Structure 1
Amino acid sequence: MVRKELVVRLNDTEYTNWLKAGRCLLILKDGLHPFINHHMRAFHGDLLNQNTLLRKPCETSSCRSRGNKLSRVCRVCSAWQSVILRHHRQPDAIVNWDNCSPPSWRTDHWEVAKAYMPRGQGKVKGADQCDASALLNLINYCDCFQSVDPKFVREVIQYRNELMHSCEMRMKDKWMKHYHTTLKHFVRQFSHVPQMATVGQEIDEMLTADLSICVSGLDRLDGVECDSVHQWETNPDLISQWEAALLQERLQELLHADDDDVTKTQDTEQLKSMGGFLQANRDLGERFSAELQAINSLEARK
């Protein structure tokens, strides 16, 4: 049975734009991660071949970050740190060392990759577990991705941030048009990657799809008579899964404490807006009840 709340949301054009744009990021991520994983594995192998010190194990097996800094690391892990910074396009930017386990740098290429990503990647074990933001930042900051123009990567990151930081979760048609153009430019950079061959087409189809749903028993939605169960061929349950995945990513970003003081790091306006949105949509409030409780607890502590 299609929930009435979902029907109402999908008949809001600007909310549907937000959902479509977010779905495009998931499509992009699925196309990117096999290529990125292969590329980082090769990069890691090259680093080991070029520096004999990097092939040695951590001398203490306990080197770690404290907050966002590496302190008292052994000479092997210090050498890894220097190499990672040498291949960072912006070494003066904040590097999230707390994403990494330094003793694993020698054996795990993905522990190296996480140094180029936004915070909160500590428990992520591979490219397939990353969201689009993590993969895009890796391409942007690690200079091993020489075949990709960083300008196009940064443009997609900018649109992704605007999308995920939208308090109202509603995007205008004009924004969508520019977003679509930016994605096309980015995807074109990967014409040589087999897994990316269909990504452009899938994005085109998603951005032009009609996600509105008509349900018997509801007289009119957006001025359209509804006498059929589905207006679009995609199963509403599938659309609901897409929506949940996007909202989950946003909630994780908002509520991600990562040993920091949450009340100091979260955007109050966005938390309040998200809490109100979940409460106003009973189906989502039920699905994300734990996250809603966390939001309410944070609000109560202020």
Structure 2
Amino acid sequence: MVLEELRDRLNESGYKNWLKAGRCLLILQQRLHPFINNQMRAFHGDLLNQNPLLRRQCGSGTSCSRPRGNKSGALTGLCTVCSEWGKVILKHHRQPDATVNWDNCSPPSWRHNHWELAKAYMPRGQVKVKGADKCDASALLNLMNYCDRFRSIDTRPVREVIRCRNELMHSCELSVSDEWMRRFESSLKNLVRQFRHVPEVGMVEQQIDEMLGVDWSICVSGLDQMDAADLDVLESDSASQWETSADSISQWEAEVLRERLEELLCDAETQDMEQLTRLGDFLQANRDLAELFSAELQAISSLKARE
């Protein structure tokens, strides 16, 4: 039954496109993790070496742990050391007049934790994120877009991929067209080609080609006669001959859907009940997904009951 439901979903070309695009972003973020982590660790070390004041401990402790700021980027109510960190962060912000999400950070940790520094350049909602490997593509791309540590990277394709990612994740129908996919593929490749010299990222373009080229048509003929092993076989595209197990596709699907669910459920300030309801209805209509995301569906029900 699980395989049949997965097959039915993948027979919808728009949903299949949506899922493939989401998987490409997961590949991108996984490959970017070590590169960005190393860059931010080096950046953090450079800042400490350049400014002795930044090496001192926070002078207020708990009073600095919940930073307050405004849309001009200014921080208020911090000790001398944490205030200096705030000034340095803005100095290295490519758009210092933009909104800075200070509440992502714990200023007393800026001295010893390079990832707390990185989170100042990210979208809100990162407060509990402890490292690069826990960040989604949006967080990593925004970091590259705003922090001048990455000044050697052309930000135009970065912003284009951010735009595509937002369009993908905010699709109420969980569906994108073939034309959208062509634009997405072009944007993604324009970005990753800048990293050809980076060993950790070098294979991304090939992986994206494989992901976008595979057909993902599931062979389910004679379901009653096939054993469990046979049910887990997929027909690969004749050009790529790339075979993938149904378990792998199901796992990728769960990862992409979980990212969208977490984004909708965690951001209380911009909670979109219409999108949550649509996504909940989609999950409920597919028994395998309803079982997998039962806790999230309960959370959606609780939110709807409060309206």
Q: Do both share a fold (TM > 0.5)?
A: yes
Does residue 1:83 correspond to 2:84, yes or no? no
Deviation at 1:229, TM superposition (A): 4.9
Deviation at 1:4, TM superposition (A): 1.9
Distance 2:22 2:220 in 1: 24
Q: Is the 8 Å Cα contact of residues 2 and 236 (structure 1) preserved in structure 2?
A: no
Distance 2:291 2:140 in 1: 31
Percent of aligned positions that are identical: 66
CA separation of 1:228 and 1:291: change in aligned 2, threshold 3 A: closer
Instruction: Name structure 1 gaps, 5 residues minimum.
Output: 220-226
Does residue 1:13 correspond to 2:13, yes or no? yes
1:1-302 superposed matches below 5 A: 2-62=2-62, 63-65=64-66, 70-217=75-222, 229-232=233-236, 233-257=243-267, 262=268, 265-302=270-307
Aligned to 1:222: none
AA aligned opposite 2:32: L
Q: SS of the residue aligned with 2:127?
A: coil
Deviation at 1:38, TM superposition (A): 0.7
AA aligned opposite 1:44: H
Deviation at 1:177, TM superposition (A): 0.6
What is the CA deviation profile of residues 157-201 of structure 1, one whole-angstrom value per residue up to 9, with x for unaligned ones? 000000000000111000001111111100111111111111000
Deviation at 1:138, TM superposition (A): 0.2
AA aligned opposite 1:199: V
Distance 2:61 2:204 in 1: 42
Q: SS of the residue aligned with 2:195?
A: coil
AA aligned opposite 1:159: C
What is the CA deviation profile of residues 193-214 of structure 1, one whole-angstrom value per residue up to 9, with x for unaligned ones? 1111110000011011111212
What is the CA deviation profile of residues 109-168 of structure 1, one whole-angstrom value per residue up to 9, with x for unaligned ones? 110000111111111111111111110000001011011011110000000000000000
Q: Is the 8 Å Cα contact of residues 98 and 119 (structure 1) preserved in structure 2?
A: yes
Q: SS of the residue aligned with 1:27?
A: helix
Deviation at 1:67, TM superposition (A): 6.4
What is the CA deviation profile of residues 12-49 of structure 1, one whole-angstrom value per residue up to 9, with x for unaligned ones? 11101000000000110111111111111111111111
TM-score scaled by length of structure 1: 0.92
Deviation at 1:265, TM superposition (A): 2.0
Q: Is the 8 Å Cα contact of residues 215 and 228 (structure 1) preserved in structure 2?
A: no
What is the CA deviation profile of residues 47-74 of structure 1, one whole-angstrom value per residue up to 9, with x for unaligned ones? 1111110010101222122566654210
What is the CA deviation profile of residues 210-260 of structure 1, one whole-angstrom value per residue up to 9, with x for unaligned ones? 1121223469xxxxxxx9953232110110010000000000000014xxx
AA aligned opposite 1:190: F
Distance 2:233 2:164 in 1: 34
Instruction: Name structure 2 gaps, 5 residues minimum.
Output: 225-230, 237-242
Q: Is the 8 Å Cα contact of residues 216 and 228 (structure 1) preserved in structure 2?
A: no
Distance 2:232 2:149 in 1: 52
Distance 1:127 1:156 in 2: 18
AA aligned opposite 1:251: L
Distance 1:86 1:40 in 2: 15
Distance 2:86 2:4 in 1: 53
Q: SS of the residue aligned with 1:183?
A: helix
Q: Is the 8 Å Cα contact of residues 2 and 215 (structure 1) preserved in structure 2?
A: no
Q: Name whichever of 61-70 and 85-94 sits farther off.
A: 61-70
Q: Is the 8 Å Cα contact of residues 116 and 138 (structure 1) preserved in structure 2?
A: yes
Distance 2:233 2:246 in 1: 10
Q: Name whichever of 37-46 and 210-219 sits farther off.
A: 210-219
